[in-house]
Amino acid sequence: MQANVHKLLNQQINKEFYSAYLYLDFSNYFEDAGLDGFANWYKIQAQEERDHAMLFYQYLQNENQKVTLEAIPKPDKVFTCHLDVLKAGLEHEEYVTALINEIYAAAYEVKDFRTMQFLDWFVKEQGEEETNAHDLITKMELFGSDPKSLYMLNQELAARVYTAPSLVL
Ligand code: FEO
């Protein structure tokens, strides 16, 4: 595997674990706010991010490439309202999309077709992640200021259940 592609894939393990940590922090925020449905939604989001990290980890292992685990930064955002948390979620997903695109571009440059094929799942996944984050913001903007509607939105998010990723390595 070409050195830069290897470096970026290895970095992405850390970025995905950070995403898990960030969303667990979001979950923690909503737990404190008494919105257990939102807390559930982000806790499941954190589980998905951990899965993403493990997919990058497994891919490198399968390719007989060295994995180096680095320290995961502390989530340090302080929020003053619920909507800001959701907006930070969308911003973070857009950042992750840019990271995936960067790895894809690096793989494309050196004709690493196997890595490109591996990343295809993530390209699609990022589209879904951004849509979900967008939808949450829209719903919060529409219903968040009315306590009864917020209660129902919270109930809706409480129903989210974890499903394992469709990509198996
Ligand atoms: Fe692993 Fe939400 O991107």
From the CB of 49, is ligand 1 less than 6 Å away?
yes
From the CB of 93, is ligand 1 less than 6 Å away?
yes
Atom of ligand 1 nearest to the CA of 48: 1
CA of 130 to the centre of ligand 1 (A): 9
Which pLDDT band, with edges at 50, 70 and 90, does 69 fall under?
very high
pLDDT computed for residue 133 by the predictor: 98
Q: What domains can be seen in the chain, in order of their start residue?
A: 3-158 (1.20.1260.10)
pLDDT computed for residue 78 by the predictor: 92
pLDDT computed for residue 150 by the predictor: 97
**Distance between CA atoms of residues 72 and 160, nearest Å:** 27
pLDDT computed for residue 129 by the predictor: 96
Tell me the pLDDT tens digit for each residue of 30-62: 999 999 999 999 999 999 999 999 999 999 999
pLDDT computed for residue 79 by the predictor: 94
Atom of ligand 1 nearest to the CA of 126: 3
pLDDT computed for residue 148 by the predictor: 98
**Distance between CA atoms of residues 13 and 2, nearest Å:** 17
pLDDT computed for residue 87 by the predictor: 98
CA of 90 to the centre of ligand 1 (A): 10
Render the burial of 151-164: b for 16+ CB within 10 Å, e for the rest: eebbeebeebeeee
CA of 148 to the centre of ligand 1 (A): 31
pLDDT computed for residue 124 by the predictor: 98
Q: What is the mean pLDDT of the chain?
A: 97
pLDDT computed for residue 128 by the predictor: 97
Tell me the pLDDT tens digit for each residue of 120-154: 999 999 999 999 999 999 999 999 999 999 999 99
| 8 A C-beta contact, residue 129 and residue 90 | no
DSSP 33-98: HT-HHHHHHHHHHHHHHHHHHHHHHHHHHHTT------PPPPP----SSHHHHHHHHHHHHHHHHH
pLDDT computed for residue 35 by the predictor: 98
From the CB of 52, is ligand 1 less than 6 Å away?
yes
CA of 36 to the centre of ligand 1 (A): 22
pLDDT computed for residue 149 by the predictor: 97
